[in-house]
Each structure stands twice: as C-alpha cells, then as structure tokens.
Structure 1
Amino acid sequence: MKALRWAGAAILVLIGAPLVVIGAIGLGDETGRVFFTIGVLVLISAVGGVARLLADRRPPPRPRLVELTPEESALFLPRASAPSRISSMVLLGYGLVLLASAVSASLVESWGVAVVCALLGLAALWLAAPGRDLAGGIWLSPRRLAHEHDGRRWEVPWDDVTGVVPQQPMPVLVRADRMPTVQRTGPLGRAWNPRRGDGLLAVDTRHLAGGTELASYVIGKAVTDPASRTVLGTPDSLPQH
C-alpha cells in the first residue's frame, strides 16, 4: 500500500508539472490560466501525499493523564496531529490558489470562472480551519468514554458501552437505544460520520497513542470489569512500557 501511495504521488507530479509549464506559457488566455491552476492544485496534492507518507513513519504520541473537569480525570489517548494538520495545509493551499485564480479571472472579466474559483476557494478555506488542531483522540474516565476526530465529537457513559472490536477502524458497540449525539466541533464536511448503524460507532485508530491494541484493551476491560474504571485517569492507568 505504501508503494502504491508513493507511486500515486509520483504520478501526480508527472501530471501537475507539465500542466504548470503549459499553463505558464499560455497565461495570457483563459485555457492557459485554467491549466496553470489545475497543475498547481495537482502539485499541492502531491506534496500533501508525500508529507502524509513521511508523517506515517513517525511514532504516535504517548498516552497521558488530563482533566476533563476539575473533578474528573481521564486517561487520554491522543492522535498524532501531523496528518490532520497536513490535510488542513493542503486545503489551505487549494483555497489560496483558487482565490488567486478568481482574482486573475476577474481582472480579464471572465466572471463565470471567477465566481466558480471564488466559491471553491472559500469552501476549501472553510474546511481547512487554519490554526486549529482537529486530531483529537480518546478520553477514558471512570464515568465515560469520549472521542473526537476532525471536528466530530461523541461521548457515552460506560453503562451504555457493550463491547469493542480490536480492528481498524475500531467498532465501539453501544446500546442501540442509547446512541450518543455526534457534535460538530469543526467545519462541516471535514470528517466522516462515526455512527455506523444501530449500536456501532467507528473509531479511526491510525496515529492514535497505543493504536488499536491499547484502545480496545482499555475499553474492553472497562466493559467486562466495571471495577477497573475507577483506575482510569490515575497514574495506574498509564501503560507501563
């Protein structure tokens, strides 16, 4: 899969670079400007793909203890921020290039192209949410389980959790009549909906501290051994290695 992703990035460069060159030669006409814009967007995608491949090689962050409220501590399994940050930077690049193209098109009174580029550019900037860390993670406290990723958050009390499946993405099983509300904390359209039918919430464990193994172990133990929940949020809940 990594080899295919590297090949995909190389193909994007081979497509984008000629488009930029051809577009730069013909910047004086509308076709040249379109080629140039598309070429730059393709190259940004290639750079983002390479950056994601390099980010995937870095070890995930370490679990740590946090306070959800002044009276409630939790074991926090953070998700590495680099992948979400790279996606944000790519979207930001898209937005800036498209807005620049909109300005360029308006200067030659190509209003249709200008409007389309402006709308797409503003949408990309909205999705980029510049300056925000949308990586999130999993919070496990004696009272509840909470998860957040790319601007979507949900949480459930332990009594509503019925199980977990150790795979990627990781299904967290919840009572069908107590499915939590998914709250949007980031831009609309950035993340997929974690609700996957009655009683199932999908968690992306890539880049998560401890990965699928640690998250499924802690959740499974909290479900099968309710007494173990009292340890969550204390130093004893941190992995020993």
Structure 2
Amino acid sequence: MVQPTSPAPPAAVVRVLGLLTGLGSVAIGVGLVLDAESSFGVVWASLFVVLGVVVLLSFVAVLPVRPRPATTGSVRGAGRDVRRDVVLDGEPAQFHPHPLERVRLAGLAALTLLGGWLVVMGVVGAVEETWLWAVLAAVPAAYLLGFPVLTVLGRARAGGWWLTPTRLVAEHHGLRSEVPLRDVATVTPWSRSVHVAPVEAGRVEHRSLTPWPWRTRARGGDLVVPVGAAGAPPASEDLAALLREAAASAARRAG
C-alpha cells in the first residue's frame, strides 16, 4: 500500500497568491530603495526585493511538471529520474539523478541571495554604523552561503542513486548511504520515495561528505530512495519492483 509522505503541491489559487506576493514585495522594495537616504538604508530596503525574489523562486519550483515518457531502463512516471549506465567503484551501475533538480536549483539561488544580502548588510553596517552588524551577520551568512559553496565543490550535490549487481547506493546533500542487495529485507513504496529496510540493523552504511550543519540527516536504519514531486504512486511502485528484483537476484547469487 502506498503511503503519503508529504502534502500535495499548492493549489492554483495559492500559487497565484504567491506570485502576486513576490511581485508586490519586489515593487515595495524598489520604491523603498529609491527613497533611501543612506547606503545602510538602501541595504535594508533591498531586503524586500530579496525576499520577493525568493518567493518568486519558490513559485517556479512548485510549478507542476509534465512527466516525461518512460524510456528504456527508467522508472515509469519518475520525471527527471532517467537511467544512465555508469561505473561505480569498478562495478557497472544504473545511475538515476535526484528527481528534484529544479527545486534544488531554486533553493540554492534563494540561499545565495539571502547569504549575499547578509554579507552586504554586515559590511555596510560595520562601515556606516557599528562593527556589531558584521558580527551579527557573520554566522547566518556563513551558514547560508555554505550550501552553494559546498555544492560547487561537489560535496553537497543533489546526487541520486546507483544500482549495481551487489549494492544500492544513494547520495543526497552530503550524505552517502549504501546497503548490500543481499541484505535487503523489505522494500516499501511511499508516495514520493521508496524505503529499503535491511535484514539487520546496521547493514546500511552512512558516510558523511560534508560537515554536519550542511548535510542531510540519516533516517534511522533504512535507506530512502527519492522519487520526487513528479513521482506519482506508479513510479514508486515501479521503483520498488525494480529494487525487489535486484535484491532477489543478489540473494540467489549469494546462495
């Protein structure tokens, strides 16, 4: 049975309200920037512009995407999750990139805008007002900008999942998890992900690729494979069937 894991995308009315809110915030910010009498005032007025752009980015991220037709080796209905044949640690593998690339890019753009605004606010505030503004802005700016910087360095990429003859490997935002297929006990499809439970606790190996403030947290002893917002229940069911078949094949070879 497919279990819901998150609410459905916003209704059309909510999306329209979000679009109007974003545009309104940008318009208010532009008006305040034009009326500002100091550089520090311009920076604070520009916050409305930044927040408006963030809202618009969120609006773009939640727009519905028409699923692509299924291709050979792909999971039906999984949108951007299209198979590529690669080599992983010396083994042939099917690689499926993370399905929420558009949401990820919008999120990184929003974090970069907010982090950049904090940097400018800290510098201008320290020059025109007091050095305390730089102190107040330093930590949140470093945290927000850490995500795009680590992504550029390849340490916090969206990743995806790999299926080899012996392993299932998933990587997302600085956390890499893998489980031997012969140790897979159950595969449960949810609405936008598939949960893979091992025969014993500790069989799923988690490895951190980034410092803890910027990485995804491990979800207990299971391995979670995302299907994404475009993944209707059939996509989860198809993926679960694929993983069950791979686990059964690995168990037969091991036996």
Do Structure 1 and Structure 2 share a fold, with TM-score over 0.5?
A: yes
Q: Cα offset for 1:105?
A: 0.7
Deviates most, 210-219 or 158-167: 210-219
Query: 2:177 touches 2:223 (CA, 8 Å); kept in 1?
Result: no
Matches within 5 A, 1:94-133: 94-129=114-149, 130-132=151-153
Q: Tell me, yes or no, if the aligned pair for 2:94 and 2:163 is still in contact at 8 Å.
A: yes
SS at match of 1:110: coil
Measured after TM superposition, the shift of residue 195 of structure 1 is 1.4
Q: Cα gap change, 1:21/1:115 in structure 2, threshold over 3 Å: closer, same or farther?
A: farther
Supply the distance in 2 between the matched residues of 1:208 and 1:185 (Cα, whole angstroms): 27
Q: Would you say 1:140 and 2:163 are equivalent positions?
A: yes
CA distance in 1, matches of 2:217, 2:228: 16
Q: Aligned residue for 1:195? A: 219
Distance verdict in 2 for CA 1:96–1:228, change over 3 Å: farther
Contact 2:28 2:49 in 1 (8 A): no
Q: Which runs of 5+ in 2 are unaligned?
A: 1-8, 68-78
Structure 1 Cα separation of the partners of residues 20 and 173 of structure 2: 27
- Aligned 8 A contact 2:179 2:223 in 1: no
Aligned with 2:205 (options 159, 162, 181): 181
Distance 1:37 1:122, change over 3 A: farther
Mean alpha-carbon deviation: is it higher for 134-143 or for 1-10? 1-10
Matched, 1:21 2:31: yes
- The normalised TM-score by structure 1 is 0.77
Change (3 A) 1:79 1:53: same
User: Take 1:229 and 1:5, find their aligned partners in 2: how far apart are those partners?
Assistant: 51
What's the offset of the Cα at 1:120?
1.9
Once the two structures are superposed, the pairs formed by residues 9-158 of structure 1 within 5 Å of their partners are: 9-28=19-38, 32-33=41-42, 35-54=44-63, 56-57=65-66, 59-70=79-90, 72-80=91-99, 81-129=101-149, 130-132=151-153, 134-158=157-181
Aligned length, in residue pairs: 226
- 8 Å contact from structure 1 (residues 222, 228) kept in 2: no
RMSD: 3.1
Q: CA separation in 2, counterparts of 1:228 and 1:27?
A: 75
TM-score (normalised: structure 2)? 0.74
Instruction: Encode CA deviations 1:132-177: one digit per residue, 9 max, x unaligned.
Output: 5612111111111100112211011112211111112322112342
The CA deviation string for residues 46-78 of structure 1, in whole angstroms up to 9 with x for no partner, is 2321331358457414201110123x1111122
2:94 alignment partner, SS class: strand
Taking every aligned residue pair, what percent have the same amino acid on both sides?
25
Between 1:13-22 and 1:202-211, the stretch displaced more is 202-211
Question: Any idea what SS the aligned residue of 1:195 has?
Answer: coil
**Which of 7, 15, 20 is residue 17 of structure 2 equivalent to?**
7
Match in the other structure for 1:166: 189
